[in-house]
Amino acid sequence: MIIPTSAVNTCIIDNNKIYAYGFKKLLSIKDLSNQVTHFDNGSEAIAHLRDPDNAQNLPDIIFLDLSMPVMDGWEFMKEFEEIKSQLGKKISVYILSSSIDSQDIDRAKNIPSISDYIFKPVDVQRLQEIFKDLQGIARQ
């Protein structure tokens, strides 16, 4: 069964509201995802993931910023690692950051749940590849 990429449930966790708005618009314009949830920090996203009322509406993919107030991307990943087996769904996580610090990149590579580290601003072709790969996984 082929799932249209626009049916991919996407989550962006980033406190930059302007960037998040532009990112959502880009996903919509390129017909990659029309279902986008936005959280300003990792704490809000973890609460959403843990809430049993959201079990049928979990994201297929998360784009995660590292630098945020309340709960940053690293803290989110620590919590996510603890709850991911209880979610009942594989969720792909991509770091989406402006940090070019090699320590951040290496740290991300050592977390199995992180699919890739992408630099802001995101490249449209790279996004299209990610959603195409995700669509292929959904078919299996």
Question: What pLDDT digit, counting tens, does each position of 22-36 carry?
Answer: 999 999 999 998 899
| CATH number where 14 lies | 3.40.50.2300
The model's pTM: 0.91
Q: What are phi and psi of 139, to 5 degrees?
A: -75, -25
Domain coverage including residue 18? 5-139
- How many domains are there within the chain? 1
**CA atoms within a 13 Å half-sphere pointing along the CA-CB vector of 3:** 18
State the pLDDT at residue 55.
87
Q: pLDDT tens, 27-72?
A: 999 999 889 999 999 999 999 999 999 988 899 999 999 999 999 9
- Does residue 32 contact residue 6 with C-beta atoms inside 8 Å? yes
- What's the 3-state SS for the chain? CCCCHHHCEEEEECCCHHHHHHHHHHHHHCCCCCEEEEECCHHHHHHHHHCHHHHHHCCCEEEECCCCCCCCHHHHHHHHHHHHHHCCCCCEEEEEECCCCHHHHHHHHCCCCEEEEEECCCCHHHHHHHHHHHHHHHHC
The answer to whether residue 78 scores a pLDDT higher than 90 is: yes
